[in-house]
Amino acid sequence: MRSRFEYILPRSLKEVLDFLGDRGSQTSIIAGGTDLMIAARNGGVASRYVVDVSRLEEMRVIAVTEGALSIGAAVTFTEIVNSPQIAQWAPILAQAAGCVGSVQIRNVGTLGGNVANASPAADSVPPMLVHRARVQIQSASSERSEPLEEVIIGPYRTTLKPGEVITRFILEPLGHEYRWNFQRIARRRALSAARMNAAVIGRLDSRGMVDELRLSVGSITPEPSRMTGAEEHLKGKIPDPLLIQEAAEKVSLEMVRRSGVRVSTEYKRPAVEGLVVKALTELFIKQSCNA
Amino acid sequence: MDGKYHDINSRLLRIFFTLNGKTLEIEVKPWETTLEVLREQLGLKGTKEGCGIGECGACTILVDGLAVDSCLMPAPKLDGRNVETVEGLRQGEALHPLQEAFLSKGAVQCGYCTPGMLMSAKALLDRNPNPERNELVDALSGNLCRCTGYVQILEAAEEAAETLGKIKQPS
């Protein structure tokens, strides 16, 4: 049976925080509702109150200030796709946002919801990790800022406590000197969750050697993270197909080390290697259309 | 909004919105979906439930001009919004050019996905009257059809775009 709850539509972040201060332990936050309403359909929402943050101006701002790209938690994927600031400073996030769900889902689904729901297949997470995203979290009595990889601690598990709400994300803006590439494997281009996805940004120095590389692969480890072994393997070197293949093998070894050998490993090992090879090759060797 | 959402002891929520051009004030249960309110409370059965979990687009409606899955939208979210459903497409006895084109191109077989397809197509054409084929494909990619194979649907949307262009710029 469908979950029943009271629906609260506050007019300011302060109202949200006051409400959470009183009744945070009995409250779920809703933004687009594309995850919460699926859970509610089968009685999966136990909270007495659902607080809607989707209209709060404080949580809907996209701004670039002094080396920081700030994106409100209630910004929708469609808004991310259409944002000139994000196109300029985090185009990989715009590309990934355009892969989420469907037009209908992107029109309401939010960045904050994607992170709070913490699906391993969340398309926004690898791009945010390569932008060293920090998560701004508020409650009635406190405010904290944490690196994204320390907020998502497992499939559908975060460090968010009752009474806390994600208000915005702070990304490191990356200008045109960075190359970027986003890859995704799914059953169907639209309407289907990613089997795995990969975000990579990199930069070559004047001699053609990798001087910056950040790689994150989604859905292959219990908690999202950067693939530092593969990054280090390429840094300071001129990328070539052999080095890229070796880096991809480091990623699949890391996957097995952290997730164990599963029924799906036989598929996932070559799939993730292919995904990483494709991402790094398009990044450094075959200049793709988005470079 | 006058603080009505803060009366947490009240089971029903009063919401005020525009539906197919008419303003409406109704009471909804806070946990109900927009789809349920449209079909059961307001009797607008044009909007269909397919999967119920946002994966098929049969329940697509427009909210402030954007295509959304009404099965995933809590009814309280409608407050203050402009809502369009398939029932709002025709003008009097005349079908909307999209509806005409869906008929003439054979874009309807079982018909279950049709209202959602029409609304997704309308969302695009309202914003972009001359879409490329790939823009149409993208706009309709959140709507599944298990009968037509999509080709006739895309052709119908293109025909409607042409018709709408002629209506808007008589030359």
Residue A136 structure tokens: 């701004």
Element spanning B92, H or E: none
Q: Report the distance separating Cα A283 and Cα A279, nearest Å.
A: 6
Distances, alpha carbon A132 to alpha carbons A147, A150, A168, A224, in Å: 7, 11, 14, 12
Higher pLDDT, B118 or B149: B118
The whole-number pLDDT of residue B23 equals 98
Q: What is the CA radius of gyration of chain B?
A: 17
pTM to 2 decimal places? 0.94
Which residues have CB under 8 Å from B56's CB, separation 6+?
A191, B50, B113, B116, B143, B144
Judged by DSSP in three states, A68 sits in: strand
Best of A2, A102, A108 to disrupt the B interface (most B CBs within 10 Å) is A102
pLDDT value at residue A237: 97
ipTM attached to this prediction: 0.92
Q: Does the pLDDT value for residue A43 go beyond 90?
A: yes
Q: Compare all CA atoms of chain A with the CA of B65 and give the residue at the minimum distance.
A: A107
In the predicted model, is pLDDT for residue B36 greater than 50? yes
Query: Over the stretch A215-270, which tens digit does the pLDDT of each residue have?
Result: 999 988 888 999 999 999 999 999 999 999 999 999 999 999 988 888 888 889 99
The rounded distance, in Å, linking the Cα atoms of A183 and A248 is 14
Cβ-nearest to A8 among B8, B57, B73: B8
Token pair, residue A215, equals: 């790689």
Q: Give the pLDDT band of residue B10 (cuts 50, 70, 90).
A: low
Residue A120 is classified by DSSP as T
Report, as an integer, the average pLDDT of B51-66: 97
The one-letter code for the residue type at A77 is F
d(CA A227, CA A232): 9
- What is the C-alpha separation between B102 and B107, in angstroms, rounded? 5
Q: Give percent above pLDDT 70 in chain B.
A: 92
Cβ pair A174, A201 in contact under 8 A? yes
Nearest of A236, A218, A273 to residue A251 by alpha carbon: A273
Mutate to test the interface with A, among B37, B56, B69 (most CBs of A within 10 A): B69
Contacts of residue A188, defined as CB under 8 A and 6 or more positions apart, other chains included, come to none
3-state secondary structure of A61: coil
What is the rounded CA–CA span in Å between residue A275 and residue A185? 8
Segment B142-153 mean pLDDT: 94
Beta strand B60-63 with B82-84: parallel, antiparallel or unpaired?
Answer: antiparallel
The strand pairing partners of B28, in sequence order, are: B13
Confidence check: pLDDT of A186 > 90: no
Nearest to B60 among A32, A101, A104 (CB): A104
Residue A108 has a pLDDT of: 98
Closest partner residue to B142 (CB to CB) among A6, A8, A190 is A190
Interval A86-103: pLDDT, tens:
999 999 999 999 999 999
Please report which helix (H) or strand (E) contains residue B24, including its range: strand B22-28
Tens of pLDDT, residues A7-42: 999 999 999 999 999 999 999 999 999 999 999 999
Q: Which two tokens stand for residue A289?
A: 């259309």
pLDDT score of B165: 86
* Beta strand spans in A53-209 (E): 62-65, 68-72, 134-138, 143-147, 152-154, 157-158, 165-171, 179-185, 196-204
Tell me what pLDDT residue A262 has.
Answer: 86
- DSSP character at residue A127: H
Can you tell me the distance from the alpha carbon of A29 to that of A81, in angstroms, rounded to the nearest whole number? 24
Cα(A80)–Cα(A95) distance, integer angstroms: 9
Rounded Cα gap, residues B167 and B27, in angstroms: 39
Work out the average pLDDT over A149-163.
96
Give chain B positions within 8 Å (CB) of A40: 31
CA distance B69 to chain A (A): 6
Give chain A's mean pLDDT.
Answer: 94
Joined together, the tokens standing for residue A227 give 């693939």
Pairing of strands A49-52, A62-65: unpaired
The larger pLDDT score, comparing residue A167 to residue A194, is at A167
Contacts of B77 in chain A (CB under 8 A): 9, 33, 52, 54
Q: What is the pLDDT of residue B1?
A: 40
What's the CA gap between B141 and A62, in Å, rounded?
27
Model confidence at A62: pLDDT above 50: yes
**What pLDDT was estimated at residue B169?**
65
Q: Where does the pLDDT of residue A287 fall: very low under 50, low under 70, confident under 90, or very high at 90 and above?
A: low
Percent of chain A scored above 70 by pLDDT? 98
Q: Which helix (H) or strand (E) holds B127?
A: helix B114-127
pLDDT reported for residue B3: 45
Backbone torsions φ then ψ of B169, nearest 5 degrees = -125, 75
- Average pLDDT value for residue range B145-171: 88
Count of residues making up chain A = 291
The residues with which A166 forms a beta bridge, in sequence order, are A137
- Band of residue A195 on the pLDDT scale cut at 50, 70, 90: confident
The pLDDT value given to residue A220: 87
Flag whether pLDDT at A288 surpasses 60.
no
Give the mutation candidate from B4, B16, B37, B55 for the A interface (greatest A CB count, under 10 A). B55
The CA distances from residue A63 to A58, A133, A136, A180, in Å, are: 12, 14, 14, 21
With pLDDT > 90 as the criterion, what percentage of chain A qualifies? 85
The pLDDT, as a whole number, for residue B170 is 58
In angstroms, the CA A275 to CA B76 distance is 42
Q: pLDDT at residue A291 above 70?
A: no
Average confidence (pLDDT) over A93-115: 96
A27-30 and B60-63: which strand pairing? unpaired
Question: Do residues A68 and A134 lie in contact, with contact meaning Cβ atoms separated by under 8 Å?
Answer: no
Q: Please say if the pLDDT value at position B6 is more than 60.
A: no
Binary contact (B30, A5; C-beta < 8 A): yes
